[in-house]
């Protein structure tokens, strides 16, 4: 016959009860149900516990060991935690929980709770008539013969585990005939967490029911039913042996040691609620299918191009699904080097290097180029990854007015001389669609010996006669650092820097985002490489996408909507965050996917619809979208 462990234990289970007192006054008590083999160790642990209690030193310790009756196994009540800051809040929570479970006369019950302070046992109270049913009202009714079913296999600890012991007691009590609820607060001055419990409420912990240091504590068992049958209930509480299964581990929430502090996750929940209440909540959702997509940055429609997909598949087939290590270890594979060579050639620089994302390229480049004591000059509308790179660098940050080159000059003057200075700007501003005044930017940086960096995330493949970006557009020379992404017009993913060999070698040695990340996917590298080849073969793509964007602006104007763009991005200013979200939803209902852009991506009150036009967009769709926007 196969025997379960607990059945095995049931053969020789003992109840061990400890009770410590001083001059007849109770100090502490505890009970475990264990197999005979555990008795010597448990007696020692119980003694230690008796000797060490916040209420004082005992002069009498009674350890009683007796055979336990056949145990009844019960599954632990479900545990929930209600984090509150003050006893007032705590009792309000208790009231609400009891009311939700159908109790009436709750205030009267809670007033009677004070009468249990100092009792050894619990008050047994008729939940409806409020009659006290304990045979000895001074002592109360004590539940005994119960333990966590797993306790026999656990290490015993001299420290009281208020939580686990209370879950065991509450589970037994909730299953006693006629018992409909329980209220409890520890009399331990340092333990301010209490609970209310019932089969329906479960075990609901309330993290603050008294001030720390207060020795008040007690218990009420709420009874409903015939008073003749109270004897059965008391017998169950006192004599029935109960082992509780699946006692959940103590929840990690604000603990008694830190009163009045919010549980960390509770604090997050509150902030999240505030974000959502302000109309700024965001959620991740799967891309809806079957809509006209004016939301992504796939300006040339290459993400879905068979040539890119084939290149990625082939590279993955040859080199694997992952690159296995960082670039400086063994992660550098032929597709990485081929892509870097191709990028440098495409942009007309000596060298290039890639990161797994554009965000990483910006953060990893800016934080490597400047440091403490240096100065970085950043356009106020620069992308978040530039902002984060500046912050991470610990350099002094000088934010100049959007595209205001006079202000850039003023900020350079303000910063004075530094070991190193860097000016950084988006080439195409991602939420406004306008472009950097590159000639003046380069002139100012050159004249002042300031390193220049531009982010061509939205410029590559879109700007310039052949899609090579803003330098081609202006014919104005190169900044020191030409950063960009492979994830927008190039249809793949990743970020890059094109620059002189020295700059790239410096970054290979200093960019932590480069050094300490696994090399990015060889498939993505090969796909981006294929996209560059397509751009070289089809120089007409970039002018085409800009032309479509201009036509869309004209279509909007025909509907009486003012908008402008110099790139593929057409923002339509709305202002109010909620209104922008509503408009986006209405457009979606009409089959157009257009994102509402809100704070913190743009300033508060500057919410907008952001239409990104693709070279693949049909003329009719552009007109239909303009009409739909006018309607919404």
- b/e for 287-309, b at 16 or more Cβ within 10 A? eeeeebbbbebbbbbbbebeebb
Binding to ligand WAQ by residue 613, rule CB under 6 A? no
564 burial level (CB within 10 Å; 0-12, 13-18, 19+): middle
Under rule CB under 6 A, which residues in 282-321 are in contact with ligand WAQ?
none
Under rule CB under 6 A, which residues in 346-405 are in contact with ligand WAQ?
none
Binding to ligand WAQ by residue 87, rule CB under 6 A? no
The pairing of beta strand 218-223 with beta strand 179-185: antiparallel
Residue range at the interface with Mg ion (CB under 5 A); choices 48-56, 81-89, 182-190, 548-556: 182-190
The site partner of 297 among ligand WAQ, Mg ion, none (C-beta below 5 to 8 Å per kind) is none
What's the maximum distance between 2 C-alpha atoms anywhere in the chain?
Answer: 99
Residue 27 beta carbon to Mg ion: minimum distance, rounded to whole angstroms: 9
Check if the beta carbon of residue 431 is closer than 8 Å to that of residue 610: yes
Q: Which is nearer to ligand WAQ, 121 or 571 (CB)?
A: 121
Binding to ligand WAQ by residue 170, rule CB under 6 A? no
Residue 137 beta carbon to ligand WAQ: minimum distance, rounded to whole angstroms: 12
Out of 292, 336, 342, 458, the active site residue is: 458
Size of the site for ligand WAQ (CB under 6 A): 21
The alpha helices in 370-478, defined as continuous H runs, are: 384-393, 405-415, 438-448, 470-474
In 3D space, the residue among 270, 260, 252, 205 whose CA is nearest the CA of residue 88 turns out to be 260
Binding to ligand WAQ by residue 49, rule CB under 6 A? no
Under rule CB under 6 A, which residues in 232-271 are in contact with ligand WAQ?
none
162: annotated active-site residue: no
Residue range at the interface with ligand WAQ (CB under 6 A); choices 161-169, 292-300, 387-395, 552-560: 161-169
Residue 257 beta carbon to ligand WAQ: minimum distance, rounded to whole angstroms: 12
488: annotated active-site residue: yes
* Phi–psi pair at 258, nearest 5 degrees: -120, 75
* Bridge partners for 597 per DSSP: 608
Distance in angstroms (rounded) separating the CA atoms of residues 238 and 233: 9
Binding to Mg ion by residue 165, rule CB under 5 A? no
Helix pair angle (334-347, 522-537), 10° resolution: 30
Strand order in the sheet with 451-455: 351-355, 495-499, 481-485, 451-455, 421-426, 375-379, 396-400
- b/e for 401-426, b at 16 or more Cβ within 10 A? ebbebebbbebbeebeebeebbbbbb
452: annotated active-site residue: no
Out of 186, 323, 430, 492, the active site residue is: 430
Residue 88 beta carbon to Mg ion: minimum distance, rounded to whole angstroms: 23
Check if the beta carbon of residue 609 is closer than 8 Å to that of residue 571: yes
H helix or E strand, kind and range, residue 123: strand 123-126
Binding to ligand WAQ by residue 143, rule CB under 6 A? yes
Distance in angstroms (rounded) separating the CA atoms of residues 251 and 248: 8
Out of 342, 488, 492, 612, the active site residue is: 488
Binding to ligand WAQ by residue 122, rule CB under 6 A? yes
Q: Which is nearer to ligand WAQ, 142 or 342 (CB)?
A: 142
Q: Which is nearer to ligand WAQ, 187 or 455 (CB)?
A: 187
Under rule CB under 6 A, which residues in 186-205 are in contact with ligand WAQ?
186-188, 193-195, 205
Instruction: Kindly list the residues in this chain that would bind ligand WAQ in the complex (CB under 6 A).
Output: 116, 119, 121-122, 142-143, 162-163, 166, 169, 184, 186-188, 193-195, 205, 217-219
- The residues that are catalytic are 430, 458, 488
């Amino acid at each position: 016959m196969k025997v379960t462990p607990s059945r095995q234990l049931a053969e020789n289970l003992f109840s061990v009860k400890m009770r410590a007192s001083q001059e007849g006054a109770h100090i502490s008590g505890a009970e475990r149900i264990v197999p005979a083999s555990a008795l010597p160790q448990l007696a020692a642990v119980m003694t230690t516990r008796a000797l060490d209690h916040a209420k004082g030193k005992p002069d009498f310790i009674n350890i009683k060991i007796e055979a336990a009756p056949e145990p009844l196994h019960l599954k632990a009540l479900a545990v929930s935690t209600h984090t509150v800051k003050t006893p007032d809040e705590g009792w309000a929570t208790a009231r609400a929980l009891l009311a939700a479970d159908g109790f009436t006369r709750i205030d009267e019950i809670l007033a009677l709770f004070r009468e249990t302070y100092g009792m050894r046992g619990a008050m047994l109270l008729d939940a409806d008539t409020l009659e006290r049913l304990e045979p000895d009202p001074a002592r109360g009714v004590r539940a005994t013969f119960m333990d966590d079913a797993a306790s026999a296999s656990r290490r015993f600890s001299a420290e009281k585990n208020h939580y686990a012991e209370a879950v065991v007691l509450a589970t037994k009590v909730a299953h006693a005939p006629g018992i409909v609820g329980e209220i409890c607060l520890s009399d331990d001055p340092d333990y301010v967490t209490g609970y209310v419990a019932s089969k329906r409420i479960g075990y609901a912990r309330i993290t603050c029911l008294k001030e720390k240091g207060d020795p008040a504590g007690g218990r009420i068992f709420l009874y409903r039913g015939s008073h003749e049958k109270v004897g059965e209930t008391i017998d169950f509480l006192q004599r029935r042996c109960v082992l509780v299964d699946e006692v959940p581990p103590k929840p990690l929430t604000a603990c008694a040691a830190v009163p009045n502090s919010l549980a960390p996750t509770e604090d997050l929940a509150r902030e999240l609620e505030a974000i959502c209440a302000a109309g700024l909540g965001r959620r991740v959702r799967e891309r809806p299918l079957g809509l006209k997509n004016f939301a992504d940055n796939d300006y040339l429609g290459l993400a879905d191009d068979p040539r890119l997909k084939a290149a990625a598949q082939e590279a993955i087939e040859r080199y694997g699904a992952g690159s296995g290590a960082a670039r400086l270890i063994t992660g550098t594979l032929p597709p990485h080097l081929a892509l870097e060579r191709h990028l440098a050639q495409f942009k007309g620089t000596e060298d290039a290097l890639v990161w797994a994302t554009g965000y990483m390229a910006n953060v990893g480049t800016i934080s490597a180029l400047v440091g403490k004591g240096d100065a970085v000059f950043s356009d106020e509308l620069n992308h978040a990854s530039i902002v984060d790179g500046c912050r991470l660098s610990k350099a002094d940050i000088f934010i100049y007015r959007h595209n205001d080159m006079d202000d850039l000059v003023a900020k350079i003057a303000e910063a004075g001389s530094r070991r190193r200075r860097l000016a950084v700007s988006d080439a195409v501003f991602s939420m406004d669609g306008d472009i950097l005044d590159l000639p003046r930017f380069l002139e100012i940086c050159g004249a002042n010996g300031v390193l220049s960096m531009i982010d061509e995330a939205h410029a590559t493949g879109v700007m310039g006669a052949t899609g090579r970006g803003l330098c081609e557009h202006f014919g104005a020379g190169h900044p020191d650092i030409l950063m960009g992404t492979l994830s927008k017009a190039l249809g793949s993913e990743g970020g890059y820097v094109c620059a002189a060999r020295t700059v790239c070698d410096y970054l290979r040695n200093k960019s932590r985002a480069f050094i300490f990340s696994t090399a990015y996917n060889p498939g993505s590298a090969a796909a981006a490489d294929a996209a560059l080849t397509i751009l070289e073969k089809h120089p007409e793509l970039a002018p085409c996408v800009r032309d479509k964007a201009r036509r869309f602006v004209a279509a909007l104007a025909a509907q009486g909507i003012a908008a402008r763009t110099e790139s593929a991005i057409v923002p339509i200013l709305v202002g109010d965050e909620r209104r922008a979200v509503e408009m986006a939803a209405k457009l979606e209902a009409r089959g157009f996917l257009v994102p509402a852009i809100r704070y913190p991506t743009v300033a508060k009150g500057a919410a907008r619809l952001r239409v990104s036009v693709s070279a693949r967009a049909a003329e009719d769709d552009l007109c239909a979208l303009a009409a739909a926007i006018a309607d919404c």
